[in-house]
Amino acid sequence: MKPKSKLDAHATKLREWLRSKKDGGEGITLGQARERLREFECSASLDTLSRWWRQEQKEQGEKTLLADIASGAKFNRDLESTLGQNPPPELLTLIQLIKTLIAGLAVKGDLDADTLRLVQSLTGLVLEHDKSRANYELKKADLDLKERRVTLLEQKAAQFDQAKSILQDGALTEEDKKLRMHELFGLQ
């Protein structure tokens, strides 16, 4: 925490004046800020104003870094709760990479809202792909089961046709018919 300064009373105005235009401020110079302060009957040297602004930027950077880390941690918790208990290994690898990316960006201070949205979008695509893959596997298993049923029904139909021809074969005795039926259906 920075020590108290007479400039603290004008902190809101100073932040607005000195913050870059890209960050929503006016982006004026320290000299211009010193002149504006005089309008509020506050005098400060450029050195004092410079030290105050550096300390202000440092504190803001620390707050932003902590917020980014907290945001990344929340994202990771949300991701884990979405995945459930046992995600597939390949998905787990991707998720670990995304978590590492989030942590790295947060520590570097590069985790802004746009980057977080991009990472969330990437994660959404990964999860959607995994869901699609799981649905594909379920449908494939269902189709395989149906194909096995059709194959089994075809085999049963062929057995029925053979049994019908055995029963209709007038050249066979009842004992031969019975023996062949047992062989056909695997009965002993």
pLDDT value at position 167? Answer: 92
- Tell me if 2 sits within 8 A of 56, measured CB to CB: yes
pLDDT value at position 34? Answer: 93
pLDDT value at position 3? Answer: 58
SS3 label, residue 114: helix
pTM score of the predicted model? 0.44
pLDDT value at position 134? Answer: 80
pLDDT value at position 1? Answer: 54
For residue 112, count other CB atoms closer than 10 A to its CB: 13
Type of residue numbered 30: L
CB-based contacts of 33: which residues, under 8 Å, 6+ apart? 14, 17, 18, 49
Query: What's the average pLDDT block by block, 10 residues per block, for the chain (188 residues)?
Result: 78 91 90 93 92 89 74 72 68 77 74 75 78 86 94 94 92 92 85
pLDDT value at position 38? Answer: 93
Q: Please spell the DSSP secondary structure of 165-179, one letter per residue.
A: HHHH-TTS-HHHHHH
Distance CA 136, CA 181 (A): 42
pLDDT value at position 85? Answer: 63
Which tokens in the block code for residue 159? 């057995």
Distance CA 152, CA 185 (A): 14
